Structure 1
Amino acid sequence: MRAFALILALLAAPWAQAQTSQLRTLDTDYSAASWKAVGRIDFDGRAFCSGTLIARDLVLTAAHCLYKPGTNTLWPADTIRFSAGFRDGRAVATRRAADAAAHSKFDAVAALTATNASYDVGLIRLSEPISTFDVPPFYVHDGRVTPGPVSVVSYGRGRATTQSRQKECQMLGRSSDTMVFDCDVTFGSSGAPVFTHRNGRGQIMSVMSGMVEVDGQKRSIGMVLPERVTEVKRQMRMQVAPPVAQVRRITVGGGKRSNTGAKFVRP
């Protein structure tokens, strides 16, 4: 209950409200050109999430996307496919996953608390790298995070075949490693990158984890990234996986837990 109280306190905080723009479909080559590194992640043709290329062979998404909905079972890595810049049935580049890892402290079947959301980070290692000339990756933001304008590029239910971008929404508040936004996301938007544009080209400051509804208003939740991404990278580098209780990891032909779509919670 304390986690929900924290979220409610963040939502009630007196942050100055800037202008939040409408979600817009990136339906032309020109509008989509800068966002090719954001793609759709498909799981065995039965579910999808949003994700972003952060290196030639590494995709950042939400940890819960790697688990089959409502279960403790990960999608086998060879059923995961990333399509960079996916739009109207085409992608700039498509790759299968070689392996993937969800943060070891994330619990896919637990409630969406502030603490659990702060660990909702996953990485997918691609079977073959994608040329940075074709798809320039985005950097993970490693600077100060403060309330203010951000942008989000995502897929979602009802707009699964084309990227959509909200040019400006607001980071409303932060407590520890959890942030609250007023960005327009829905099922399938899980794993979508939240960009800060304070240092030129956008950098990923958070990943969409889920949603809460308070007094009829929808709010989205994400986490502070740099340390979490480093921790999951460390898991992926391990040569011998420790017991499941310590590290959750999937490899080609393996299996162990997933979840897709943003989560709704009613405090």
Structure 2
Amino acid sequence: MTAGKRIGQLLPSLAVALSGVALMNVALASGAMAEDSGLQRLETTEAGRDWQAVGRLDVNGEGFCTGALIAPDLVLTAAHCLFDRDSRARIAPQTIEFLAGWRNGRASAYRSVRQAVIHPGYIYDGEISTDRVRNDIALLQLQRPIRNTTVTPFETDERPQKGARIGVVSYAHDRSEAPSLQDVCAVMSRQEGVLVMSCDVDYGSSGAPVFSFDGERPKIVSVVSAKAEVSGKQVALGSALAEELALLQSQLTGRRIGGQMPPGVGRVIVGERRQSTGAKFIKR
């Protein structure tokens, strides 16, 4: 199976029309979208210096997503990257490799994945819905922490308000050998925990970090889950993060908060298969 074909199978949510997400209330604000920056390819060491903690996630040697370090041994990405589209089974985490700062055949660090957890409310099967997009996050624990001084994990922050300036660093099928930065796009709407954004994403962008630039260093405020269309314009959809990320961290470590696991948290066994609901994706 070719890598190109596999990418399409790994990222089904990037190729669907999201009938389950209510986008009717999204105002396109065409003037704001016209001011979005283009993609800047981070091909040189200097251009990519601040983004070494964003990396390509090679999945089973056949496809890829995008991920970002939020701790020396933790990578944040999209949950649907951990499922096989054909079998709908969880992909063994040991077949996933994180290539930090991957650019033109070289990475700042190479790490295999030891274990992975997904949001307890995420279900791979079924029509795309606000619940699925909102919960489309996963944490990967690396076999060994990355202690390279040039690879600094990103902090996370609260999701931004409508109209906020954001940016995305991602790989994609047509830019698989070096990431691209879009440093100006916008939050068009926030609906039921889902961010609707004007950012430019494509196959391979799943799991890409969405950044806020309010502080001294960019902070991750969402993860790219899908793309959709609103009034003929392509938009990106981002998952919720703050409380959901806390759930994932509890799953991964088994830590109890106040003597109890947080509500809704149950440890996900690596390699566990989700039961099919029989629902189908709606393709564009």
Say whether the fold is shared (TM-score over 0.5): yes
Distance 2:160 2:233 in 1: 28
More strand per residue:
1
Structure 2 vs 1, CA of residues 228 and 3 (structure 1 numbering), >3 Å: closer, same or farther? farther
| Aligned-pair CA distance for 1:203 | 0.3
Residue in 2 aligned with 1:150?
166
- 2:178 equivalent to 1:162: yes
Equivalence for 1:210: 226
* 1:17 counterpart residue number: 32
Residues 47-62 of structure 1 aligned to structure 2 (within 5 Å) = 47-62=63-78
What is the match of residue 228 of structure 1? 244
Matched, 1:136 2:184: no
Residue 50 (structure 2) aligned to one of 31, 34, 43: 34
**In 1: Cα distance, 2:186 partner to 2:159 partner:** 18
Unaligned runs of 5+ residues in structure 2 are 1-17, 256-263, 275-280
Q: How does 1:1-267 map to 2 (within 5 A)?
A: 4=20, 6-10=22-26, 12=27, 17=32, 19-131=35-147, 133-142=149-158, 145-238=161-254, 247=266, 249-251=268-270, 254=271, 256=273
Moved more, 200-209 or 16-25: 16-25
Give the 3-state SS of the residue equivalent to 1:228 in structure 2. helix
What is the aligned partner in structure 1 of residue 13 from structure 2?
Answer: none
| CA-to-aligned-CA distance 1:45-71 (integer Å, 9 cap, x gap) | 011100000001000000111111244
Deviations 1:132-172 (A, max 9, x none): 52310000113753422111000001111111111111111
Once residues 87 and 244 of structure 2 are traced to their aligned partners in structure 1, the CA distance between those partners, rounded to angstroms, is 23
Once the 2 structures are TM-superposed, how far is the Cα of residue 199 of structure 1 from its aligned partner? Answer: 1.4
Aligned length: 253
Letter in 2 for 1:134: T
Amino acid corresponding to residue 233 of structure 1 in structure 2: Q
Residues 134, 201 of structure 1: alpha-carbon distance in 2 compared, 3 angstrom cutoff? same
Greater shift, 130-139 or 27-36, is seen at: 130-139
Structure 1 unaligned segments of length 5 or more: list them.
240-244, 258-263
Distance 2:49 2:265 in 1: 40
Q: 3-state SS of the aligned residue for 1:9?
A: coil
